[in-house]
Amino acid sequence: MFPFKRRAKTVAALDIGASSVKYVRLDRKADGYALAAAGIREVPIESIVSKEIKDRDSVIFSVQGLLDQCDPRTTDVVVSVAGHGVITDKFEIDKKSGAEAEQAILFEAEQRSPFDVDDVSMDYHVIHTDDDARKMEVLLVAARREYVLEYLNLLEDSGLHTPLIDTDAFAVLNSYEINYDIDPERVTALVNIGFDTTNVVFLKDGRFHSTRDVSAGGRVIYEVIQREFRLNQEMTMKVIRGELEASVDQDMLKATIMSAADELLTGLELAFSYFRTLAKTDSVDWIVLSGGGALIPYLPECVQTKLNVPIEIANPLRNIEYDPELFGDLQPEKIAPLLAVGVGLAAREV
């Protein structure tokens, strides 16, 4: 009867990563968001590799275990995809509206997508309209359909329905936007370091500029520490979480992490230099780090030194009301950077 959509009062999100699955549910309030549920559960590290699901059963087991533990009644979850199967592109077309705009965008998209249009799921978003020049800037997101279906099927087999699929990068951006004011004077890079994939989002003139996924993250650091210190999986994770500080030679740990991070740092350098060319700008003024990589000892300082850009660690719970009890044994102020994607997804309108 009414022409407007009903806004969901609560939205749940699952961030399925190669090292852990994160769950976040956010309630909408008159003046923002309140955390209704949250949780993290580790995934066996060979179950997902570079965003490809290798062992469905163990991922389903982790997803169901996590939900049983922190929000058993959930049925709908927003999820995200990233990495090789996803491309984002930005282009400008003459300002149009309605069906005319849609046609022009689809035409342009077909010319640009490196995948066959029949094989992709596409979405677009008008990010900026320049009324004087009568132009509009369109953001295109295309994901290999086969890859998206793999995730959808997995969720269905976990007993879940998915009202919306987003990308990791846009979730990171969304979580930044709800927690911070974007400074139009400063070129900012949001860098979300995961286990296999690092999402980079550049902000310029107070809005989204572009995004890239770098195919590197904490996995190499994990493997090198395990090898160099001759540890099993559990102990390696403990060292990385800083739980064995007293029994590990910190100088050696730092040197190990610095050399293991080389591939990631080189990937980031490339992404930054590509951005500077594309955006015709000399510098990035600020890096906001999130993801589990922001918690790896010495890694944030390596990023800062290598890229020569000051960094800040993101707090995706900064503007969100929460009861620390929801986190059980976890300390929210410590693990918050891990929730960047989950918070960004749960803050979506569905």
Ligand X SMILES: Nc1ncnc2c1ncn2[C@@H]1O[C@H](COP(=O)(O)OP(=O)(O)OP(=O)(O)O)[C@@H](O)[C@H]1O
Per rule CB under 5 A, count of chain residues that contact Mg ion: 2
Asked whether position 17 contacts Mg ion by CB under 5 A, the answer is yes
- Closest approach, Cβ 231 to ligand X, in A, equals 13
3-state secondary structure at position 128 = strand
Q: Is residue 62 within 8 Å of residue 41, measured between CB atoms?
A: yes
Contact call for residues 165 and 79 (beta carbons, < 8 A): yes
Q: Does 17 bind ligand X (CB under 6 A)?
A: yes
Cβ proximity to Mg ion: between 17 and 344 the closer is 17
Least separation in angstroms between CB 181 and ligand X: 24
Among 39, 267, 292, 332, binds ligand X (CB under 6 A): 292
Question: From the list 19, 62, 121, 174, which residue makes contact with ligand X (rule: CB under 6 A)?
Answer: 19
Which of the stretches 91-99, 190-198, 275-283, 299-307 binds Mg ion when contact is defined by CB under 5 A? 190-198
The residues facing 80 across adjacent strands are 166
Measured from the CB atom, the residue of 26 and 48 that comes closer to ligand X is 48
Taking the complex as a whole, the smallest distance from the CB of residue 115 to ligand X amounts, in Å, to 21
Tokens matching residue 345? 């997804």
Does residue 194 belong to the site contacting Mg ion (CB under 5 A)?
A: yes
Q: Which is nearer to ligand X, 217 or 344 (CB)?
A: 217
With CB under 5 to 8 Å by kind, the binding choice for 19 among Mg ion, ligand X, none is ligand X
What's the token pair of residue 50? 């570079």
Residue position matching structure tokens 């994990």: 222
d(C-alpha 203, C-alpha 269), whole Å: 16
Q: Sheet harboring 135-144: ordered strands across?
A: 86-94, 135-144, 120-130
Distance CA 304, CA 116 (A): 39
CB of 194 to ligand X, least distance (A): 3
Whose Cβ is closer to ligand X: residue 62's or residue 105's? 62
Question: Which residue bears the tokens 């003459």?
Answer: 94
Binding to ligand X by residue 147, rule CB under 6 A? no
DSSP state of 350: -
Residue recorded with tokens 């009867």: 1
Q: Which does 292 bind (CB under 5 to 8 A by kind): Mg ion, ligand X, none?
A: ligand X
Q: Least distance (Å) from ligand X to the CB of residue 291?
A: 4
Tell me the H-state helices in the chain: 56-70, 98-112, 145-157, 168-179, 218-228, 233-240, 250-260, 262-279, 299-307, 332-335, 340-346
Residue 47's contacts (CB-CB under 8 Å, 6 or more residues apart) are 18, 53, 54, 55, 58, 59, 62
Instruction: Tokens 């040197």: give the residue.
Output: 255
- Here's the x/- map for ligand X, 293-322, by CB under 6 A: it reads as x-xx--------------------------
- Report the residue number, 34 or 335, with the smaller CB distance to ligand X: 335
In terms of phi and psi (left: phi > 0; alpha: psi -120 to 50; beta: otherwise), the region of 296 is beta
Separation of alpha carbons 300 and 245, rounded Å? 17
Bridge partners of 29, per DSSP, are: 32
3-state DSSP assignment of residue 284: coil
Q: Does 267 bind ligand X (CB under 6 A)?
A: no
332 lies in the binding site for ligand X (CB under 6 A): no
CA distance 124 to 111: 14
Binding of residue 20 to ligand X (CB under 6 A): yes
How many amino acids of this chain bind ligand X (CB under 6 A)?
21
Q: Which residue, 29 or 54, has its beta carbon nearer to ligand X?
A: 54
- 338 contributes a contact to ligand X by CB under 6 A: yes
Q: Does 335 bind ligand X (CB under 6 A)?
A: yes
Window 179-238: residues binding ligand X (CB under 6 A): 194-197, 217-218, 222
Residue 217 touches which member of Mg ion, ligand X, none, C-beta under 5-8 Å by kind: ligand X
Binding site for ligand X (CB under 6 A): 17-20, 51, 194-197, 217-218, 222, 240-241, 291-293, 295-296, 335, 338
Binding site for Mg ion (CB under 5 A): 17, 194
